[in-house]
Structure 1
Amino acid sequence: MSTTEPVPVSLAEIARIAGVGRAAVSNWRRRHDSFPARIGGTDAGPQFSLAEVEGWLRENGKIDGVAGRELLWPRFEALGSRDESGLAVAETARRMGSPRTPTPHTELSPHAEKVVSEAVELGLSEGPRETFEFLLQRWLETHVRQLSTTPPPLAALMARIALEARLGGDDRELTVLDPACGTGHLPAALVRESPVSRTVVAACDRDPTLAALASARLDFVTEGDDARTEIVTADALRRDPFPGETVDIALCNPPFNERDWGYEELATDPRWTHGLPPRTEPELAWVQHLLAHLRPGGVAVILLPPAVASRRAGRRVRGALLRTGALRAVVALPPGSAQPHSVSLQLWVLRATPGDPDAAPPARDALLVDATRFARSGPRESGPHWEALRSFVLSAVELLDRPETSPPDGAVRVPLIDLLDDEVDVTPGRHTAVNTEPSGPELAGAWRDTAGLLTDLARRARRLSELEFDRRPPRTTVAIGELVKAGALSLRAGQQPLEGTTTAGNPSVPLLTLTDLLSDNGPGGFVPAESAAVIAERGDVVVAGVLRAFEAWVHEGPPTALGPQLYVLRVDPTKLDAHFLAGCLRAPSNGRRAGSHASTSSRVDIRRLRVLQLPLEDQAVYADAFRELEGFRSRLGRVGETGSDLVDDVTDLLAAGRPTG
């Protein structure tokens, strides 16, 4: 793959192509006079010719034939503008497949045409869908600050809510609308979640690049299914591209807080059956647009900022939505569920009046669900506990039309008469209260658990305190890179899964990412096994390759896919003890020496991590000590968590004047 003009790549991009840390690339540049010369950039951020870098990496055995997609992406990025690179990705998809949607041929520059041709050639050999999803994911990552996307787990949740709440309809065909589809996350999720045999999707976006990418995505998602998709470029509020059409389900993540949404020109629009949306309430215009396109019993689920539930300007429209039974539920999501990540966004569940009056009881209340407690606490925002969130929300929504059944804690049915006051505030947190007060037996059990942990902690402390150390010089060590060359272990780097493969239901294998580690949580997603580039098996050693989350452990759970900056080391058991290896690797001094620089955000060059050189029988002794030490650390953390919860519970009970003696 070569182009006329040199394609620039940074040190970080070279590291990604080679599957190593940036520190390793910097080291190659220092040690090898043959490393390509800089062609641009700055001293702090140099750029190199992709063609020269590719040649050097291959000549020096740093990459093999699997780096094709990583070598491809810089060519798209070099096209410059967001739109040209995005349209080139969409055109690549069009040429690799046989689109069922009438996607027009995109006029591209000669440079872009050449890049597309190279991408098509690679895609036909490595898989059209996999190549497109890789390119789309990289495009989204590159332009993340210019785009607002719906995370796949949230899109899947919205789709499932709509399917649960829908009344009536054809069991053989499902019609779907997304009037602000972006790159197609929501309709793609609905197609995946839908149990019916045929899906008809109508969607639009006012950005032609996003519409083209959504069309390409839906073509691949519906490949092999009995489906029909129509994706067009249009501003749905100002010029509805599907006038008069009604659907079973509408999903939408609309643009927020837009003042110029067409207030004056749309003042007499027939869609405003619940009242003219105020100029400052564009989100309520989107709500009514969705309702106008629903068949009787059809459902719309829309993602909204929390202020829409309480702003004074929108109270009349909110009141009308409640009186007519159109607004059936509001779900408050944890912060970090979607952009903007600092806000607790909401899902509004809307339903058109069913044609059959016996299909559901008349609406006398609204279901308000506070799911904010499923946020993850950690040093960085990393999204909620998706599986727990999904289970809780769906357990509440499935009771929407069963008024005789009490919803779970954190959800409440609020009579309409209580909501239709001067404020018409439908914020779930104002009406729900999760009962977290422990019962007497629960409190006694917590004290017993804490006492047991403290006993075990003391026992481990006594055993570890018997270890004696001297001040003789450190013993000889060997680098991981040398152990790889000697065949004592293999090293593989985790990779970002193909966009769209992570799902919140029916998982194949868990997906562990660096974000999960930073939040001190387990795997936060799932990925089909065939889409996972690297899977850690039981007995493998897993290493996190950045200083702020530097850690190494022996994997004991089920097969788990690894994301970027996580590495799996598989040992030859005749040469290395896995617990010995993990213990040596996780020494903090080891990570500092192998880090690229002093900041906590620096990457760790895994190949530079060092391990004691010991016979296998001596390794076993060290392995026992490392295991004991790791158990001590684990119990210490559990004591802290359990003790903190106990202190909070007892403090609440004391402050409420609840002691009995």
Structure 2
Amino acid sequence: MSTPDAVPVSLAEIARIAGVGRAAVSNWRRRHDSFPIRIGGTDVSPQFSLAEVEQWLRDNGKLTDVGGREFLWPRFEALGSRDESGLAVAEAARRMRSPRTRSSHPGLSDRARDLAIEAAQLGRREGPRETFEFLLQRWLETHVRQLSTTPAQLASLMTRIALAVRLGASEGGLTVLDPACGTGHLPAAAAQEYDGEDLAVLACERDPALAALASARLGFVAEDRELRTEVATADALRADPFAGVRADIALCNPPFNERDWGYEELATDQRWAHGLPPRTEPELAWVQHLVSRLRPGGAAVVVLPPAVASRKAGRRIRGSLLRTGTLRAVVALPPGSAQPHSVSLQLWVLRAAPDNPAAASPGQDALFVDATRFARPGVREPGPDWDALGSFVLSAVETLDRPDSDPPEGTVRVPLLDLLDDEVDVTPGRYTAASAEPSGVELAASWGDLGTLLADLAGHAQHLSKLGFDAGTLQTTATVGDLVKAGALTLRAGQQPAESATPPREGAVPLLTVPDLLMDGKPSGLLCADSAHAVAQEGDVVVAGVVRAYKAWVHEGPPMALGPQLYALRVDPEKLDAHFLAGCLRAPANGRQAGTHASSSSRVDIRRLQVLRLPLDKQAAYAETFRRLRDFETLLTRTDSLGKRLVSDVSDRLAAGGLTV
């Protein structure tokens, strides 16, 4: 039974505190009678007292290198309210930087204030900035469905684009503005990317908890350099606290699809120089707000959903932005670059007209950049290849004011006359796809590649079709479990890696998981090589023990760690051929028979998988046929992909005309 003052923690939270996997905590609970009893939750998701768990972990030596901040977050989460816990984290950060402060945020309860004071004391011992970042990250993870944040890599890229696009330099240093800053990712990135003198960062956020956290974040950034910061709690569209400011660069990731943005009360606002934004186009209100707060020649970069580029209601405003030279470029980002991760968001690059018109680019065109190819669908955490993406986008944007230079592949300049039609569609893919059509030489090369693949397929098919099978001969089999007992192979099971605040770098090995296999089959993570995890070496047979991703293959690359439901089988070469073993295990019927349930998400009992009993000298012929069958499958996949691409490319060329007969 729970007590009123007990702070509840789940098995997952205990695992995080102790730096182990959840399975380890379940084992502790099962094996140790002294493990704390459940105080709440359910049998499936039990909850325990944080104080009792801490005492048990300390008594049993389970807290190796665990700092006190690990026990802080469950207490912040126990405050219940998203706003109060956020304000408490911000209050703790403020007290870490100013130990003598006496006043507290008026929205805090006595319990939250006392917790903030205690957290500040611990932060001053274990590192104020590290403690704040730890608490902030946990807060963001807990409320991820209620918040939209800007990844640090995207924030950095946006800042670098704005600095590259702005014209001239203003007197008195650089002024950065973010009118919808959230927890301050964009202003913090601007402070880190700009290495000049005299920087002023102005930010606005209507949510008090987010504004307090942004102020705390920028407070720590200001400790490293000369920096003037101001974070206002206000709705920038309805009551802009920086109406008289003219910024050098403006960055923004505004709220999407908000109908109640102030359409009625702002109908006559002077910021709508390009037209009154329709009620259904709040994003275009933010775009014009940013432009209105730029000094002449200043640049703005804003994150927008792709529909803003083509919706019929906004075509007049888009046309005006293009005609005046304000909208200079549109960048299509890969899915996963920011929330919502399933959407290919866009960056609109805007620039205010300079005082000296001759300083602007003489070209009457706009730049469209399609960077969607930098997606990495196989990674565990969503996100593109940021290094490659950043280099590509910056190299493209740097050609904005150099009309004689050729933009990189996937980038195209489009004359205004081609843009200002009835739709005024500024979706990059609409223009970059046409420029990326394969030439006649490339099509001919693709047809040649297809012919080679078909010839190879025919050769494999001819060989495989001659295989004979004696239906009357019964072969005995052994299970993997039997082979393990006989010493013919060893079996190691992969497991979930413990969460770590810092990813391993030196001596790390790739980590493969079942989700990776379901995507592109490439490892998505890293793991310390000296960990106790199962690591597949060259020549080991790797088996995916789940029905929906069931497969087996001989690992031929460098060492690779295995995640849950993946297994490494190392054969005794005097008893088993690895390719023979992999071929037997790979049979689909084998996996189905060893499955624990009928659903595609069920596990496969690896020890029940069947392997033919054959002497080593006869295994070689089977191994060679298994290899040829797998090569045949690979060729089929490649032929299918190339054939479909050729059909698509040739159909586009035919539809565009120009057929010679």
- Scaled by the length of structure 1, what TM-score is found? 0.74
| Change over 3 Å in CA distance of 1:187–1:356 after alignment to 2 | same
Displacement after TM superposition at 1:433 (Å): 2.6
Native 8 Å contact 1:23 1:604 kept in 2? no
Quick check: 2:8–2:74 contact (8 Å CA) kept in 1?
Answer: yes
Q: Distance in 2 between matches of 1:594 and 1:125?
A: 54
User: 1: CA distance between counterparts of 2:197 and 2:153?
Assistant: 23
2:135 aligned residue: 135
Equivalent runs, 1:425-436 vs 2, <5 Å? 425-436=425-436
Q: Which deviates more from structure 2 when the two are superposed, residues 134-143 or residues 383-392?
A: 383-392
- In structure 2, the partner of 1:165 is 165
- Structure 2 distance, partners of 1:94, 1:568, is 49
Worse-matched range after superposition: 244-253 or 121-130: 121-130
**Matching residue's letter, 2:247:** V
Cα deviation, residue 40, structure 1? 0.9
SS of equivalent to 1:146: coil
Aligned to 1:42: 42
Q: Which residue of 2 aligns with 1:251?
A: 251
- Matching residue of 1:201: 201
**Which protein has greater RCO, CA pairs closer than 8 Å, 6+ apart?**
1
CA deviations on 1:324-353 (whole Å, 9 max, x unpaired) are: 221212223334433333433322211111
What does 1:610-621 align with in structure 2 at a 5 Å threshold?
A: none
Greater Rg by CA: 2
User: Hey, what's the Cα distance between the residues in 2 that align with 1:587 and 1:560?
Assistant: 24
- Tell me what 2:241 maps to: 241
Contact 1:494–1:567 (Cα < 8 Å) also in 2: no
Per-residue deviation at 1:544? Answer: 10
What SS does structure 1 have at the residue aligned with 2:357? coil
SS in 2 for 1:228: strand
**1:38 and 1:595 mapped to 2: Cα distance?**
33
Written as runs of structure 1 = structure 2, the 5 A alignment for 1:412-431 is 412-431=412-431
Percent identical among aligned pairs is: 67
Range that drifts further, 593-602 or 141-150? 593-602
Q: Distance in 1 between matches of 2:598 and 2:21?
A: 15
> Residue 25 of structure 2 corresponds to which residue in structure 1?
25
Question: Deviation per CA, 1:114-161, whole angstroms, max 9, x where unpaired?
Answer: 433443344344433222222212211111111111223322222222
CA contact (8 A) 1:382 1:516 kept: no
Corresponding residue for residue 324 of structure 1: 324
The answer to whether the 8 Å contact 1:511/1:523 transfers is: yes
**Kept in 2: contact 1:379–1:518 (CA 8 A):** no
The 8 Å contact of residues 333 and 371 in structure 2, kept in 1 or not, is answered as yes
1:77 aligns with 2:94: no
Amino acid at match of 2:358: D
Bigger Cα displacement from structure 2, 489-498 vs 404-413: 489-498
Once the two structures are superposed, residues 352-392 of structure 1 have per-residue CA deviations (whole angstroms, 9 ceiling, x without a partner) of 11123332234622223333444455699944444443333
Distance of 1:653 and 1:324 partners within structure 2: 35
Give, as a single letter, the amino acid of the residue that structure 2 aligns with 1:83.
D
Distance 2:634 2:309 in 1: 43
Query: Any conservation in 1 of the 2:544–2:567 contact (CA below 8 Å)?
Result: no
Flag the 1:513–1:269 CA change in 2: closer, same or farther, 3 A.
Answer: farther
Residue 433 of structure 1 aligns to a residue whose secondary structure is helix
Q: Is the 8 Å Cα contact of residues 493 and 567 (structure 1) preserved in structure 2?
A: no
Distance 1:447 1:244, change over 3 A: same
8 Å Cα contact 1:103-1:215 kept in structure 2 = no
Structure 2: 5+ residue runs without aligned partners? Answer: 468-473, 485-490, 571-577, 610-619
Distance 1:460 1:61 in 2: 60
Contact 1:19 1:493 in 2 (8 A): no
Equivalent position of 1:307 in the other structure: 307
Q: How big is the shift at 1:490?
A: 14
Aligned to 1:220: 220
Distance in 2 (alpha carbons) for counterparts of 1:509 and 1:114: 44
By how many angstroms is 1:168 displaced?
0.6
Match of 1:334 in 2: 334
Distance 1:510 1:477, change over 3 A: closer
How far the C-alpha of 1:403 sits from its partner, in A, is 2.0
Give the CA deviation at 1:246: 1.0
SS at match of 2:168: coil
Alignment of 1:577-596 (within 5 A): none
Residue 179 of structure 1, CA deviation: 0.4
The answer (yes or no) to whether the contact 1:380–1:518 under 8 Å persists in 2 is: no
Structure 1 CA distance, aligned partners of 2:34 and 2:589? 32
2:205 and 2:194 mapped to 1: Cα distance?
23
- Counterpart of 2:282? 282
1:203 deviation in Å? 0.3
**TM alignment of 1:533-548, pairs within 5 A:** none
Distance (whole Å) between structure 2 residues aligned to residue 192 and residue 370 of structure 1: 27
CA-CA distance at 1:60 after TM superposition: 3.8
1:90 partner letter: A
Distance 2:56 2:553 in 1: 34
Which runs of 5 or more residues in structure 1 are unaligned? Answer: 480-487, 503-507, 572-578, 611-620
**Judging changes above 3 Å, is the alpha-carbon distance between structure 1 residues 538 and 128 closer, same or farther for their aligned structure 2 residues?**
farther
Letter in 2 for 1:284: L
Asked whether the equivalents of residues 450 and 639 of structure 1 are also in contact (C-alpha less than 8 Å), the reply is: yes
8 Å contact 1:334–1:374 — kept in the other structure?
yes
Match of 1:389 in 2: 389
1:116 aligns with 2:116: yes
From the superposition, tell whether residues 633 and 404 of structure 1 become closer, same or farther in structure 2 (CA, over 3 Å).
same
Alpha-carbon distance in 2 for matches of 1:560, 1:389:
26
Q: Which amino acid aligns with 1:391?
A: S
**Match of residue 179 from structure 1:** 179
Provide the residue aligned with 2:154 in structure 1. Answer: 154
Aligned twin of 1:614: none
TM-score norm. by structure 2 comes to 0.74
Greater mean alpha carbon deviation, residues 385-394 or residues 186-195: 385-394
Q: How does 1:320-469 map to 2 (within 5 A)?
A: 320-362=320-362, 364-376=364-376, 382-439=382-439, 442=442
2:46 corresponds to 1:53: no
One-letter code of the match for 1:163? L
Deviations 1:196-248 (A, max 9, x none): 34432100100010011111222334441222211121111111111211111
| Structure 1 contact 171–196 (Cα < 8 Å) conserved | no
- In the aligned structure 1, how far is the partner of 2:122 from the partner of 2:93? 12
Q: Which residue of 2 aligns with 1:505?
A: none
1:183, CA displacement in angstroms?
0.8
Letter in 1 for 2:83: D
Counterpart-to-counterpart distance in 1, 2:597 and 2:30: 15
In structure 1, the partner of 2:487 is none
* 1:580-621 CA distance string (max 9 Å, x none): 9xx999999999999999987799999x9x9xxxxxxxxxx9
Structure 2 partner of 1:298: 298
Tell whether the 8 Å contact from 2:331 to 2:428 is kept in structure 1 after alignment.
yes
Partners in 2 of 1:415 and 1:197 — Cα distance? 38
SS at match of 1:66: coil
Which amino acid counterpart does residue 328 of structure 2 have in structure 1? R
CA contact (8 A) 2:516 2:523 kept: yes
The code of the aligned residue for 1:265 comes to E
Report the 3-state secondary structure (helix = DSSP H, G, I; strand = E; otherwise coil) of the residue aligned with 2:275.
Answer: coil
Whether the 8 Å contact between 2:494 and 2:561 is mirrored in structure 1 is: no
Three-state SS of the structure 2 residue aligned to 1:265 is: coil
Work out the CA distance in 1 between the residues paired with 2:369 and 2:326: 17
C-alpha separation in 2, matches of 1:296 and 1:97: 37
Partner AA of 2:159 in structure 1: A
With over 3 angstroms needed to count, the CA separation of the structure-2 counterparts of 1:47 and 1:365, relative to structure 1, is same
Matches of 2:18 and 2:588, distance apart in 1: 26
CA distance in 1, matches of 2:565, 2:492: 16
Counterpart secondary structure, 2:145: helix
CA apart distance, 1:68:
4.2
Q: How does 1:64-103 map to 2 (within 5 A)?
A: 64-66=64-66, 68-97=68-97
Q: 2:6 corresponds to which letter in structure 1?
A: P
State the 1:512 CA deviation: 9.1
Give the corresponding residue for 1:269: 269
Paired residues of 1:10 and 1:46 also in contact (CA < 8 A): yes
CA drift of 1:299 comes to 0.3
1:287 Cα offset (Å): 1.4
RMSD value, Cα = 5.8
